[in-house]
Amino acid sequence: MYHIKYSISPKKKSTLTKIIFLIFFVSFISFVSIFSFLFLLSKQIITLPNDFQNYNKTLTKQNLSLPQIAKKVVPSVVGVLSYSDVSAQTLVSEGSGVVLSKDGYIITNAHVSKGGSSFKVMLYDGKVYSASLIGSDTATDIALLKADANNLTAADFKSAENASVGDIVLAVGNPGGIAFNSTTTMGIISATNRSIVTSEGYIVSCIQTDAAISPGNSGGALINTSGQVIGINSSKIVADGFEGLGFAITSDVALQIAYELKEYGHVKNRAALGVSYQFIDKQASEYYSIPKGIYIHDIINESAMIAGIKKGDIITAIEGNEIKDITDVTKILLQKKPGDKVELKIYRSTNGTVFTVKITLIESDRSSQLLD
């Protein structure tokens, strides 16, 4: 048997000692530096740059901890189940909603309720209630449900006017559906009063955030650090080609629409052409050799019928303004009221004739006049 003895030469011992001393010395200097910095800062002998001071103020404005915020808000956010049949057997979509009042009124997105004949809402504790659709406004993507429930926990709504870029926000909802109910994600406000064009062509004021907003989050709440709802999340409002951009309809817009839906079942005093239509974009225009504009599928406005407008006609201009984009239609209608007269330029696809007519605008009492 062989015994091998290891030994450290004096030179190696000396090197090890130097390393230990160096580590101790650096640690000591670091400790003294940090202590001195904090002491001088407390005596205001030195001051932080404005950026650091503002960041500190932002954090101190948070009067609730993140767990406290979640505890306050989660009971006010529900899962929304939309069924195509009255017997609630065929599920067509899932989303989220925010409790407007304790007697069962719930704000959600119009695209969540679209195609639904019956609805159910699920609370954070698993309780399920039947609900009915009070009204839906696809122009702003806001809908109002009424659950068969009392003593719900109403959310604390706050105007988004005072929201600032850089503010911390939380998105609460059900990403991926009911299986992930009451999920909370965090981010910051990237922009306020961001004008976003909805699928209806209307321009809606939104809050832009990097907090994750997926389809199941639609209709959920965007929360400030006081646990107040400043926006209604919408995955339908997106910016094509960009990652990590989420949008929430401001609480100011959402509440205004919700209360009108509660009172009238639709948004009052919004002018409409009184026809259901589909926008013809550049690609369709070139493919079918027809002008850009809006293709008329159906007519509900008696004035339009009397003027001689027919199904299949294409409106190419309103009040002399060519229709190059769907927003061209909504911009004009937003400046008008029901009862106003407008001039339309019509292209009749059956014989290629072009003519102008005048019609009287009606009040929009339908959730949508733009077909998918």
Task: For residues 291 and 338, state if they share a domain.
Answer: yes
* pLDDT at residue 133, rounded to an integer: 97
Of 78, 113, 147, the residue that ends a domain is 147
User: CATH number, domain at 340?
Assistant: 2.30.42.10
113, 147, 181: which is the final residue of a domain?
Answer: 147
The verdict on 196 and 229 lying in the same domain is yes
The two tokens of residue 113 are: 């309720």
Active site residues: 111, 141, 218
| Contact criterion met (CB below 8 Å) for 180 and 189 | no
Q: CB atoms < 10 A from the CB of 330, how many?
A: 19
Enter the tokens of residue 254: 């959402």
Task: Work out the angle at residue 293's Cα, subtended by the Cα atoms of residues 291 and 294, and round it to the nearest 5 degrees.
Answer: 130
- On whether residue 38 sits in a domain, the answer given is no
In a domain, 6, yes or no: no
Residues 173 and 202 in one domain: yes
pLDDT at 7: 44
- Report if residue 141 sits inside a domain: yes
Can you read off the two tokens belonging to residue 261?
């839906």
Asked if the structure places residue 195 within a domain, the reply is: yes
CB atoms near residue 146 (< 10 Å): 21
Judge whether 154 lies within some domain.
Answer: no
Considering the domain architecture, whether residues 74 and 117 belong to the same structural domain is answered as yes
Residue 302 lies in a domain: yes
**Into how many domains does the chain fold?**
3
User: Does any domain span residue 23?
Assistant: no
Give residue 178's pLDDT.
Answer: 73
| pLDDT score for 36 | 54
In this structure, the answer to whether residues 173 and 255 fall within a common structural domain is: yes
Question: Based on C-alpha coordinates, what's the Rg of the chain?
Answer: 30
Query: Last residue of a domain, which of 260, 282, 297?
Result: 260
User: In this predicted structure, what is the pLDDT of residue 174?
Assistant: 87
Mark whether 185 and 251 lie in a shared domain. yes
Q: Give me the CATH number covering residue 202.
A: 2.40.10.10
Query: What's residue 53's pLDDT?
Result: 43
- Whether the CB-CB separation of 330 and 203 falls below 8 Å is answered with yes
Q: Within 10 A of 136 (CB to CB), how many other CB atoms are there?
A: 27
Instruction: Examine the domain organization and report whether 135 and 179 are in the same domain.
Output: no
Same domain, 128 and 85: yes
Domain coverage including residue 252: 160-260
Q: Which residues of the chain have pLDDT under 70?
A: 1-62, 199-201, 236-244, 366-372
Q: For position 122, what pLDDT does the model report? A: 94
Q: Does 12 reside within a domain?
A: no
Note the pLDDT of residue 183: 87
173 and 250 share one domain: yes
The length of the chain in residues reads 372
Please check whether residues 141 and 97 belong to one and the same domain. Answer: yes
Q: Mind listing the pLDDT tens digit for each residue in 74-118?
A: 999 999 999 999 888 899 989 999 999 999 999 999 999 998 999
Give the Cα separation of 74 and 72 in Å (integer): 6
Same domain for 278 and 255: no
Shared domain for 320 and 351, answered yes or no, is yes
